[in-house]
Structure 1
Amino acid sequence: MKKIEVDTLIEGGHSMMNDVVMDTARELSGAHFVVKIDELLKERGITQKQLAQMTGMRVGTISDIVNGKGSSINKAQLFSLMAALKVTRMSDIYEVVLPEEKRKDYLMLQDEWVNNREMPVPVKEMYKKNVLKASGLSLD
């Protein structure tokens, strides 16, 4: 299992990613992106090379995925991995783990949003900030 901190992903993020995306992702500082493919390979007794042959991906691509390198995976690759490894959920391959306080806060805000059908105040504030930033205006 490979854990990658969100902050590390952001620092090494794609150079073409805009500031609004990066700033919004920073809200999850302290969270981890967990890659579980190495555990699946061990459980199934197969190698990265065999997985590459099963999926049609390059061995280097499989290695990058297993080691959490690169910033993206396309949906066809994800489906190919799921089919080859016979898993039923994306979370069997990848998972995002939030810090406990952030998780509790998000669950509360999620419930509020669903129940009231209105954006919670922190979401409205983020929305306003991001719209202004994207349009080149400031909050002041």
Structure 2
Amino acid sequence: MKKIKVKDILGHSHSLMNDMVINTASQLENAYVIIKLDDLLKERGITQKDLAFLTGMRVGTISEIANGKGISWNKAQLISIMSALKLTNFSQLYEIRLEPTQHEEYEIESSQWIATKEMPNSVKDMYRENLLKSRGLD
């Protein structure tokens, strides 16, 4: 399992993304992206080279995916990995883990939003801030 802090990912992505994407994503800066590919390979008794043959990808590409080195996720490649490893859910391959307090806060706000159809204040604030930025009024 490879853990990469979201803050580190955002630091490398800043030149590729607009400020609003980075600002919104940075609300999860203390979360981790968990990459489980190496564990999945070990569980199945195969190597990255074996997976490369199964998926048609380069071994280097498999290594980059396993180590979180790629800048973006290619959906066709991820689906190919899921198919080759007989995965039934994306979370078997990747996961985002929030800090416990943020996880609890998001659970509450999400449930309330769904129940009331009323956008939480934190989301309203984000919306307002992004709207102002998009109009150059920040």
Q: TM-score, normalised by structure 2?
A: 0.97
SS of 1:26 mapped into structure 2? helix
Question: C-alpha deviations, 1:5-40, integer Å up to 9, x for none?
Answer: 000000011522000000111100210000000000
Structure with greater helix share of residues: 2
1:12 aligned counterpart, secondary structure:
helix
Question: Equivalent residues in 2 for 1:98-137 (5 A)?
Answer: 98-137=98-137
Q: Which runs of 5+ in 2 are unaligned?
A: none
Q: TM-score, normalised by structure 1?
A: 0.96
| Contact kept in structure 1, 2:10 and 2:22, CA below 8 Å | yes
Q: How many residues align structurally?
A: 138
Give deviations 1:78-137, integer Å, cap 9, x for gaps: 110000011100000000000000000000100110011110111101100011112211
**Are 2:17 and 1:17 equivalent residues in the alignment?**
yes
Cα offset, 1:64, TM superposition:
0.1
Displaced runs of 4+ in structure 1, greater than 6 A?
A: none
Match of 1:34 in 2: 34
Output the CA distance in 1 between the equivalents of 2:103 and 2:14: 26
Aligned to 1:68: 68
Q: Which residue identity does 2:125 align to in structure 1?
A: E
Indicate the residue corresponding to 2:93 in structure 1. 93
Measured on the aligned residues, the alpha-carbon RMSD in Å equals: 0.9
Percentage identity across aligned positions? 53
Q: C-alpha distance in 2, partners of 1:46/1:29?
A: 33
